[in-house]
Structure 1
Amino acid sequence: MEFRTIQRPDGSFQQSVTASDVQAIARAAFGCCTVVESAVELGGGLYNSVYRIRLRATAEPVVLRVAPPAERQFTSEAHLMRNECASVPWLAPIADLMPRVLTADFTGSVIGRDWMLQSFLPGTPAPQKLGSFPKDTHGLFFRQLGEITAAVHAVAGPSFGPVAGPGHARWSQAVVASLGQIANDVEGCGLDAVDLRRASDVALAGARLLDEVGKPRLLTGDLWTVNTLLAPAPVPAICGVLDLDRTWWGDPEADWTMRMARAKQDERLSFFDAYPARTDTESCRWRRRVYELRHLGALRLERHRLGNEAGVEDSYRAVAENLAALM
């Protein structure tokens, strides 16, 4: 077997698997006579370990995604792969853009970690290709992203919170629970989480405003440029959407995608040419501040995981500014 992995420093969050692990997974999925000809680890992601696998008996490659060991996962990010699998039926409106799940194993009986095999989607990651197009065409990309997001947000669900659960009857309960989990994880890293505890208290005190959101909608969780593939074309054309493992039910304004679409006054505003106009009230703006506090808490965890100490420090300033605005 040709086997290539990404070399990372000792102690890195992402941990590669071995060639024998890949062979064991392939045989568990496709039968004991399966032969893996090559396994190449792919970069670009920051959470799961991802490999392009070629099997002797098939012409098309498949993709193997392996979750981090359970003991290395934050509580607020626990079992994201299981959440993604639970989300697949709900993501039917964009199924033509997503890889097919061929099989998944959450038993831990093969390599002691969750793993999933998916179909391979052709295309180039948008961060690598978008810049090669003329700047005046970039708005087409963000308009497509708005269409995709709108299709996902149109799906109504049974309760608030992660798609795989636990579910909550009210939106305020899901928001406060999420902020509490993030604060616990921050403290578990040895960092100060007093500001995030305060954010949770503010959200609880404003439960009435949060609960104006009465219908759970499907949120992508973290859809943005890094989760998309572009086709060979004269202008940007999205041909694939990947890694929607942070999906949850809630207020569309709480989605990471909405936050990023508003982050700069540039071509990304074309997103809203395709996304239905939403009422912008004082209550909406207050809720967006609460959602930003949640995003900042999650970013603090990710930056800590990546060793970005300056980014961690900057998150405290940003949280303080948003708390002051809320008050």
Structure 2
Amino acid sequence: MEFRPLPRPAGAFQRSVTAGDVQAIVRRVFGVGVDVVSATELGGGMYNSTYRVELAGRRPVILRVAPEPGRQFRSERALMRNEYASVPWLAPIAPLLPHVLVADWSHEVIGRDYLVQTLLDGVPGPEGLGVYPRSAWPVLYRQLGSIARDVHAVRGPHFGPVIGPGYDSWSASVIASLTDIAADVDSVGLDAADLRKAADAAGAHRGVLDEITEPRMLTGDLWTVNVMLAADAPEPTITGVLDMDRTWWGDPAADWTIRMAGRKDDERVAFWDTYGTRDTSTAAALRALIYEARHIGAIRLERDRLGNTTGVRDTYDDLAVTLAALT
């Protein structure tokens, strides 16, 4: 087989599997009679290791391999299992999702969780969108608005990650998430005092957070980088949605998608055409500050993982502004 892993520095968070690992996984999933022609590691994702695997006599598949359990942050633990558990709840967008052929948490083949999925048609969103003039971009954001609206309409059994831990109240879930992120920031040797202040502020505003009484499905990470677009379509057309591993139950306004849609007054304002209007109440604005603190904490962890020291430093300034507004 031809094996093409991405070159990475020795200390990089993402670690490739070996050619032998890929062959062993394919034998496990498809049987000993199926040969691997090639396995190419794909860029774009920053957490799991993802490969396009060409098989003799079969359609290509996608292999996604989670980090080793001991290298996962507590705020990101078992994300692949969380995604797998989310699939039945994501039925409203099922035609856009890859189909899971096999999920293996046994660690009998390799010491990591992995999924084998169908290959979605199309090209990655950032690559495909650049083909179109900016005047056509609102079409994409309207589609994102529709997808987010459909996901957010799904009601869940508890607050928090889909696989748990589950919480009876929204405030308990938010405070637990901020606390976990702060502990993860501590674990990599960074100062997490501002995140603990954010958790304290969330506790002080429990009543406002607990105005949210119905858990709704949040995508966790849906934006342009997590979609596939049709090749050669007359306008941007979403054909697939990827990496729904950060799903959780809560207030739709806390979703990453909502944050990104509201960041700039450019083509993305078309998102609201299909999603619907935002809650602009005083209570919603206060909750949004708490959600922003959580987003900044997660961004800090990701930037540290990528070795982006300037970006990490910027998160302290950003969170200081958010905390000043919150307090």
TM-score category of the 2 structures, normalised to the smaller one: over 0.9
CA distance in 2, matches of 1:201, 1:266: 34
What residue in structure 1 maps to residue 206 of structure 2? 207
What residue in structure 1 maps to residue 32 of structure 2? 32
What residue in structure 2 maps to residue 196 of structure 1? 195
CA distance in 2, matches of 1:45, 1:75: 19
- Letter of the aligned partner of 2:319 in structure 1? V
Deviations 1:25-53 (A, max 9, x none): 01111113221111111111111111111
CA distance in 1, matches of 2:106, 2:266: 46
What residue in structure 2 maps to residue 53 of structure 1? 53
What residue in structure 1 maps to residue 217 of structure 2? 218
In the alignment, does 2:289 pair up with 1:286?
no
What residue in structure 2 maps to residue 122 of structure 1? 121
SS at match of 1:166: coil
CA distance in 1, matches of 2:276, 2:140: 17
1:166-315 equivalence runs, <5 A: 166-232=165-231, 233-315=233-315
How does the TM-score come out when normalised to structure 2?
0.99
- Letter of the aligned partner of 1:154 in structure 2? A
Post-superposition shift, 1:126?
1.0
How does the TM-score come out when normalised to structure 1?
0.99
What residue in structure 1 maps to residue 8 of structure 2? 8
In the alignment, does 2:89 pair up with 1:103?
no
What residue in structure 2 maps to residue 156 of structure 1? 155
CA distance in 2, matches of 1:56, 1:138: 38
- Letter of the aligned partner of 2:297 in structure 1? G
CA distance in 2, matches of 1:131, 1:64: 27
SS at match of 1:113: coil
For structure 1, list consecutive stretches of 5 or more residues without a partner in the other structure: none
C-alpha root-mean-square deviation of aligned residues, in Å? 0.7
Post-superposition shift, 1:57?
3.3
- Letter of the aligned partner of 2:119 in structure 1? F
What residue in structure 2 maps to residue 75 of structure 1? 74
SS at match of 1:310: helix
- Letter of the aligned partner of 2:31 in structure 1? G
- Letter of the aligned partner of 1:8 in structure 2? R
CA distance in 1, matches of 2:295, 2:70: 23
Post-superposition shift, 1:132?
1.4
**Aligned pairs, number:** 326
SS at match of 1:132: coil
Post-superposition shift, 1:279?
2.9
- Letter of the aligned partner of 2:179 in structure 1? G
SS at match of 1:320: helix
CA distance in 1, matches of 2:278, 2:40: 44
Deviations 1:43-94 (A, max 9, x none): 1111111111111131x10000000111111110011000000000000000
Quick check: 228-237 or 291-300, which moved more? 228-237
CA distance in 1, matches of 2:276, 2:150: 10
CA distance in 2, matches of 1:237, 1:128: 13
SS at match of 1:249: strand
Post-superposition shift, 1:143?
0.4
What residue in structure 2 maps to residue 65 of structure 1? 64
Post-superposition shift, 1:276?
2.1
CA distance in 2, matches of 1:231, 1:12: 32
